[in-house]
Amino acid sequence: MSDLIRPLEPGDIPFCVSMTERTGMFKQLEVEALQEVLDDYFAVCHELGHQAAVLEESGKITGYVYWAPAAMTDRTWYLYWIAISNEVQGKGRGGRLLKHAENDARREGARIFLIETSGTAQYELTRKFYLKYGYDLSARVPDYYTDGDDLCIFHKRLGPKKIGP
């Protein structure tokens, strides 16, 4: 079985959006936002340092990841999207994509990587996934998305702290 992590191509967008919808983890509004984000990626965001990659196995996309520098910060980066096909979840693919994004951001000089996710029971495995890969839960904002759906912010330091001025 041949597999590789490669840059997202425009022709990958419909499959990535469809795969995201099929996971059952995202609201319709979020799936629509993903379509816009990926369209904007090729229109302008890639030029601003945003990155996106897919995991392709035997010619089929099984996951993707999208990350970017955070505006108005000193080398802080965000993981905006990561999704794995239902058929292969829980087998290390998400970890491979997460490490790929971290390593790329690190090469770009990133200090910190941030991730936001939901605090609902449905996202318990997602939160455990980030903890497994060395992220700390830095903040929880009650009722952020809607009543009963908290915002959980995870962070991981990728680069050393700057000492002195």
Q: Give tens-digit pLDDT for 91-145.
A: 789 999 999 999 999 999 999 999 999 999 999 999 999 999 999 999 999 999 9
Q: What are phi and psi of 135, to 5 degrees?
A: -90, 150
Rg (CA), the chain: 16
Predicted local distance difference test score (pLDDT) of residue 46:
86
Are 137 and 131 contacting, i.e. CB atoms less than 8 angstroms apart? yes
- Residue 54 inside a domain? The answer is yes
- Residue 25 inside a domain? The answer is yes
Q: Beta strands 76-84 and 112-118: pairing type?
A: parallel
Tokens of 141: 């904002």
Of 20, 23, 26, nearest in space to 149 by CA: 26
Confidence of residue 162 (pLDDT cuts 50, 70, 90): confident
In one letter, which amino acid is 74? Answer: D
- Residue 162 inside a domain? The answer is no
- Residue 164 inside a domain? The answer is no
Distance CA(76)–CA(55), nearest Å, equals 24
Predicted local distance difference test score (pLDDT) of residue 164:
66
> Could you report the per-residue pLDDT of 49-93, keeping only the tens digit for each?
999 999 999 889 999 999 999 999 999 999 999 999 988 787 789
- Residue 122 inside a domain? The answer is yes
Distance CA(99)–CA(105), nearest Å, equals 10
Distance CA(138)–CA(82), nearest Å, equals 19
Domain hosting 27: range is: 3-157
Which helix (H) or strand (E) segment is 17 a member of? helix 13-22
Q: Write down the number of H helices and E strands in the chain.
A: 4, 7
Q: Domain with 7 in it: what CATH number?
A: 3.40.630.30
Count the domains in the chain: 1
Are 155 and 113 contacting, i.e. CB atoms less than 8 angstroms apart? yes
